[in-house]
Structure 1
Amino acid sequence: MSGVFMTFKKWFCLGSLALAGVMGFVSLSAAQDDTSDPYQQIEQVTVELLNTIATHQDGYPENERAYFDGLDALLQDSIDFAFIARNVMGSYHKQATAEQRASFAATFRNGLIETYGRGLIGYENQEIVLVKVQAVPEGQRRLTVKQEIRSTDTVYPLEYSMARKKTGQWMVVNVVINGINLGKTFRNQFVQSAQRAGGDIDQVINGWSSESL
């Protein structure tokens, strides 16, 4: 793995910790429920996320599969894995068959959950600051939730790009950690892998794993 992706993976794990630490830094109007307000939705997910971590932390890594399954069930309604996977494939999405698209979406989701989970399992109450919380205008479909991950000598900026679906549910569609755009990073990785494979999408899918993230 290149140095760029090693650095990216470290920041990705820091971003995972940020989502786990958002609870307690959010203060919202009770007039908005968690399906219409992205900040409150993240707060609700975090309550369940911390419970999942606490349940599996002592027995990890022996219980790793059960832990990943728990995360997957929790995050399926908060992260738009299909949308992100489609963007990661880029121009290859149109070239791919329906079976290849579905296969990559599933493979990408599993890899992301595993990387996310390994970053979260070491959570130790790092200081996370939600930079800005505000009312969401009626009809707004997209927004960015900004946070800072603060240590004694470093501040890592974190941005969640969120989109409101037709159901009214807000979902994460991209993350930028310390200036690194995860969506673009994954897309570049897919393109590079496809070029090395001579355009063989099946080979790219088969070679994609959480270890490459």
Structure 2
Amino acid sequence: MTVNTMFKRKVALYLWLVAGCLVPLVAQAKVVASEAPHQLISQTTDKLLVLIDEAKDYFDKNPQRYFDELSVIVEPMIDFNSFTRGVMGEYGTRDYYRSLSPEQRRVFKADYKRFVATFREGLMQTYGKGLLAFNGEKVVVEQPSEDDLQQVAAGKTVEVLQIIKGNDKSYEITYKMRPNKAGEWKLRNVTIDAINVGQLYRKQFAAAMDKYQGDLGKVINNWIEESSDAEKEAQKVARKNASVNSQEKQ
């Protein structure tokens, strides 16, 4: 594995977690500023960088402290129920739920609740460790355009562009955010260069459901392993994009 590939992998892991983070102190606040989503991404990035820097001194001896502090920043900012339904695709829709018998609905509710917890745990563990690989790259959040400000003021979906500037390449990350009914801005999806993270997980979930013949319980039991394939696919796409960019420069 080349140094560049290792860097891309580490950055991809870092970016995904940042995508779901908002500042704890303002996470429950209503939308009061037109540029709120952009401010929240910037402020959260700063907090994560501080946490990462401090955690490098104690993680090996006390990893739980790191994950606990990470959870304080991250978990209130992600609507895990909504995000998980998105990952489940057709299996997370109302139509699918309504197609089930009363007994099937009972089982589905229990499995769904367990999947949300499993999905959350997987993100915290996998990408939390990836964050520790961050090593001083410059992070810039682009200022909102006039169209962005109008979208925010109207409470509609807005995309926040962030750029990670490495030694040999810059990476563009787009956070798709939208306020919930309470006016709290929540992450809906993230795209790293051409890698749509939400679609990758959704594709992996569908493949797992086919593999286990529609048995949601088995998908949940094996989700950590199954979802690792989505990460590998992201790395594959990243390597392909890097190769194309390199050829274009030549």
Counterpart in the other structure of 2:242: none
- Tell me the equivalent position of 2:221: 206
**C-alpha distance in 2 between matches for 1:34 and 1:140:** 11
- 1:123 maps to which residue? 134
> Distance between the aligned counterparts of 1:57 and 1:51, measured in 2?
10
Q: How does 1:159-170 map to 2 (within 5 A)?
A: 159-170=174-185
Counterpart of 1:92, as a letter, is: Y
TM-score, normalised with respect to structure 1 = 0.79
**Alignment pair present for 1:55 and 2:51:** no
- Output the TM-score relative to the length of structure 2: 0.68
Cα separation, 1, equivalents of 2:74 and 2:200: 21
C-alpha distance in 1, partners of 2:66/2:34?
25
Code of the residue aligned with 2:181 in structure 1: it is K
Correspondence for 1:110: 121
Quick one: distance in 2 between partners of 1:36 and 1:120?
A: 26
Q: Which residue pairs with 2:86 in the alignment?
A: 87
More helix by share: 2
Q: How far apart in 2 are the matches of 1:11 and 1:121?
A: 10
1:35 and 1:49 map into 2 onto residues whose CA distance is 23
Is the Cα contact below 8 Å between 1:18 and 1:149 reproduced in 2? no
TM-aligned CA distance change 1:188 to 1:124, over 3 Å: same
Q: Which runs of 5+ in 1 are unaligned?
A: 1-5, 20-31
Cα distance in 2 for residues equivalent to 1:48 and 1:35: 22
Aligned AA (1:50)? L
Q: Could you tell me how far 1:38 is from its partner in structure 2?
A: 0.6
Matched letter for residue 67 of structure 1: Y
Query: What code does the residue aligned with 2:127 have?
Result: Y
Contact 2:41 2:141 in 1 (8 A): no
1:157 aligns with 172
For residues 41 and 215 of structure 2, the distance between their equivalents in structure 1, rounded to whole angstroms, comes to 38
Identity %: 33
What's the offset of the Cα at 1:10? 4.9
Output one character per residue of 1:167-189: Cα deviation in whole Å (capped at 9) or x when no partner.
22111111111211111000111
Distance 1:18 1:66, change over 3 A: closer
Matched, 1:174 2:189: yes
1:183 paired with 2:182, answer: no
Distance in structure 2 (CA, Å) of the matches to 1:134 and 1:195 = 43
Check 1:34–1:72 CA distance in 2 against 1; reply closer, same or farther (3 A cut).
farther
Instruction: Give the CA RMSD over aligned residues.
Output: 2.8
Q: Which has the larger radius of gyration?
A: 2
